Amino acid sequence: MEKGWRNLNNDERNRGISNLGLDGNSKIPMTTARLRPLEIRDLDSIMQWVNDPAVVGNFANFKVPISRDDEQKFLEKTIASETDRVFAIETEQGEYIGNAGLHQIHWPSRVGRIAVIIGKKDHWNEGYAEAAVESLLRLAFNQYNLHKVWGMVWEDNPKTKHLYLDKCGFTKEGVLRDEYFHQGKYHNIVRISMLEGEYRARRTEA
């Protein structure tokens, strides 16, 4: 059984990254996209969408406008975090199009939260979000040895629910009623998850 990230020394961490093609130069191959570790050099690309309501309007934790300094501090903190694993999403041609990550990882319980955002709107509806989710699941269960990956989606966002529940095989755990007050009204949030055993079974069936 692989050790959790917190219990690896630096050499072991670097070997694990390299084995996945995440040494900063190579990428994780996906059907239509690639992941690589998120870096400070991605700040300019992130600033192109982080204040766009069309992109972040359904994210209650995005309080626009976000300054460049604030975003840089957040990026530095997240990259250095022991409980976050964050990646840039690229096209096969190497174009940055968004972010993906495993967050709030509780290593003793082997549980983490999944998040994906396609920041470049001209690449919406091209399969990149699904490809990023699938790659994050491979990382979560094969590399980081997680037992459970969970997420939160807006109940009134059918596209995101379709992505996670129908396309990627997540299970609906329940509904958090009136969980967020956003844009003048309360919203229900659906909690979703996938267990390691469910992921393995899904891969076998495929």
113: containing domain: 5-205
Cis peptide before 65 (omega within 30 of 0): yes
Q: Which of 82, 84, 73 is nearest to 40 (CA)?
A: 73
Phi, psi of 68 (to 5 degrees): -60, -40
Quote the number of domains for the chain: 1
pTM above 0.75, yes or no: yes
pLDDT digits (tens, 9 = 90+) for 85-125: 999 999 989 999 999 999 999 999 999 999 999 999 999 99
Which segments of the chain are extended strands (E)? 28-29, 33-37, 85-91, 96-106, 111-118, 148-154, 171-182, 185-195
pLDDT digit string (tens) for 143-201? 999 999 999 999 999 999 999 999 999 999 999 999 988 888 999 999 999 999 999 99
CATH assignment of the domain containing 109: 3.40.630.30
CA–CA distance, 79 with 90 (Å, rounded to integer) = 18
Answer whether 154's CB lies under 8 Å from 192's CB.
no
d(CA 122, CA 143): 31
